[in-house]
Amino acid sequence: MKTQTLKTKKVANKIERITGCEAVVRSLIAEGVDILYGYPGGAIMPVYDELFKFQDQIHHVLTRHEQGAAHAAQGYARISGKVGVAIATSGPGATNLITGIADAQIDSTPLVCITGQVASHLLGSDAFQETDIVGISTPVTKWNCQVTKSEDIPAAIAKAFYIARSGRPGPVLVDITKDAQFGELDFNYEKCKGVRSYNPIPKTSQEAVNAAAELINAAKKPMIVWGQGVILGQAEAELKTVIEKAGIPSAWTILGASALPSTHPLNIGMVGMHGNYAPNKLTNECDVLIAIGMRFDDRVTGDLSTYAKQAKVVHFDIDPAEIDKNVKTDVAVLGNSKESLAMLAEALNENSHEAWLKEFKDLYTIEYDAVINGDLNPTKEGLTMGEVIKQINIQSKGNAAIVSDVGQHQMIACRYADFNVSKSNITSGGLGTMGFALPAAIGAKMAAPEREVVAIIGDGGFQMNIQELGTIFQQKVPVKIVILNNEFLGMVRQWQQLFFDKRYASTEMTNPDFVTIAKGYHIEGKRVSNRKDMEAAVKEMIESKESYFLEVCVEKEDNVFPMIPSGASVSDVRLS
């Protein structure tokens, strides 16, 4: 006589017989997942059937494209510090996740992506919607696997979450065949606590910390550049202690923005291609360069053969692979930034570097007169992107989480937004993904409903994932959307102007009526082209309790300065 399979709710300390698809959902719940983003299809349909049954415990958000699901999960992860989850079917559903996965990999965002797959007996047969997603995703995931047996599902998901969130975070992918979803298993979920040969957090050496402190204590012109590793390590307080105790001028990469308030007197601004004049220029004059949780990206260093050659380099990082990868290090301190910076603070002497700090202030004055004042307080007729960001600062009191897309508006937002709270700058850094901001803002707002979330997007990037307006409408996500419309692919056009004799090849945009499109999704919207209307429009947007769409028509051919030409030295930063 056939034994009847019992499928019941979880019973404490008891092993139950359930299906693989239910095990997927129960495993996610066991990991504390309350929201996930995705798009259904044939190969993942059994899991969706279980999500329907468990909708009182886990909320599925139907995005309008799988790329949107991945970016929304990124936004959720970046503002919450939790693991973001995206789910898709096999074939095109899975491949549509790849851009978001690659973005998460280079920006160290913890993501778990679950994809359905054709039945195991069809693998390798070119079955309908079969794609080798494990092979495709291998270069852009921290770890991935394919599950063909239902009894392997809980362990695979537990391992996925452990790897995604531990050490230097990153995306993982679990591909589950359809027969594994339908099969049965004895379910008993255990969280993963370690993986053989995987050491996510290297032990911090006291000797290395002491060596770093010795260099810093003896320095006459020390300079800190911190990155997202400070935020991922929850080390904002420790960073502040180090900076203030040693009196060190400190700059940030775009992903490190907001770890220290913008108004802090030792915050000297952003480094990189469109960073501030002073920290770029003086990188090649400091005697000790302290890099914290950053990877010496080419957009930060410019020409490596001339980068900080005069300086002793101290590098704090959790990932040994980053040490000496781009810049030769004199002292490397491995470990979690929260622990290593606390140890450093103990070993540092009280100090101040007023004369050195004055050099930064003097160069800031030069940049203010040449660039900043014109961006924020323009006298010309057309609106600038900078004055829009300034007005958002005023109306939000500098407490908004800014989710920016990629392009000129991104650099302007990073340069001029007030970041008073950590995890306030959410953008695509390493991959530079146009279309990131709209879905990422959805995830950010759903993860932190108490925060004001403002998406800053260009007219080009907006149209790459414009369909996610439908997700905002259906889910009633009160995110604020600002389109800075210059009718160009602005960053590419700037390069064409400066380096290609103004040959604007395929960069001018003929745009639709964006406000009408937003209203088609029942999102209130307004279009502003005159300075006299801008303040009231931004105020109305910020005060709205619902989603709001604001299109601001800005100068068509404004450029973002300062700028380090590609491949040039950071000392060659241009103000015009």
CATH number of the domain where residue 546 is located: 3.40.50.970
Residues 213 and 331 in one domain: yes
Are residues 334 and 462 located together in one domain of the fold?
no
Per-residue pLDDT at 364 exceeds 70: yes
The rounded mean pLDDT for the chain is: 96
Is the pLDDT reported for residue 40 higher than 50?
A: yes
For the segment 372-417, what is each residue's pLDDT rounded down to a tens digit? Answer: 999 999 999 999 999 999 999 999 999 999 999 999 999 999 999 9
Of the chain, the percentage scoring pLDDT greater than 70 comes to 98
Looking at the fold, whether 291 and 334 belong to one and the same domain comes out as yes
545 is catalytic: no
Out of 491, 509, 534, 541, the active site residue is 491
Same domain, 350 and 430: no
CA-based torsion, 84, 89, 92, 94: positive or negative? positive
Q: Is the pLDDT of residue 547 over 70?
A: yes
* Predicted pLDDT at 15: 81
Q: Classify residue 375: in a domain, yes or no.
A: no
Annotate 507-538 with b (16+ C-beta within 10 A) or e (fewer): bebeeeebbebbeebebebbbbeeeeebeebb
77 contacts 110 by C-beta, under 8 angstroms: yes
* End-to-end Cα separation, the chain, in angstroms: 84
pTM of the model: 0.95
Q: Tell me, what's the pLDDT at 13?
A: 52
% residues pLDDT > 90 (the chain):
97
Q: 351-372 burial, b for 16+ CB within 10 Å, e for fewer?
A: eebeebbebbeebbeebeeebb
Query: How many structural domains is the chain composed of?
Result: 3
**Residue 126: pLDDT band by 50, 70, 90 thresholds?**
very high
Residues 408 and 330 in one domain: no
Task: Say if residue 88 is in the same domain as residue 158.
Answer: yes
Same domain flag for 353 and 385: no
Residue 299 near residue 273 (C-beta atoms within 8 A): yes
Q: Is 129 a catalytic residue?
A: yes
Helix (H/G/I), strand (E/B), else coil: 488: strand
In a domain, 569, yes or no: no
In the set 7, 57, 129, 191, the catalytic residue is 129
CA 350 to chain centre: 34
Helix axes 385-396, 531-543, angle to 10 degrees: 40
Instruction: Indicate which residue of 66, 359, 387, 452 is catalytic.
Output: 66
- CATH number for the domain spanning 296: value is 3.40.50.1220
Question: What 3-state DSSP class applies to 384?
Answer: coil
Radius of gyration over alpha carbons of the chain, in Å?
25
496 has catalytic annotation: no
Active-site residue identified among 128, 182, 499, 500: 128
Element of type H or E holding 215: helix 206-218
Can 549 be counted among the known catalytic residues?
no
Which residue range is the domain that position 292 belongs to?
206-360
Examine residue 192 and state whether it is found in any structural domain, yes or no. Answer: no
From the list 142, 178, 240, 480, the catalytic residue is 178
Give the pLDDT of residue 272: 97
Active-site residue flag, 499 = no
Which amino acid belongs to residue 88? A
pLDDT for the residue numbered 278: 98
Q: Are residues 126 and 227 in the same domain?
A: no
Q: Is residue 299 located within the same domain as residue 427? A: no
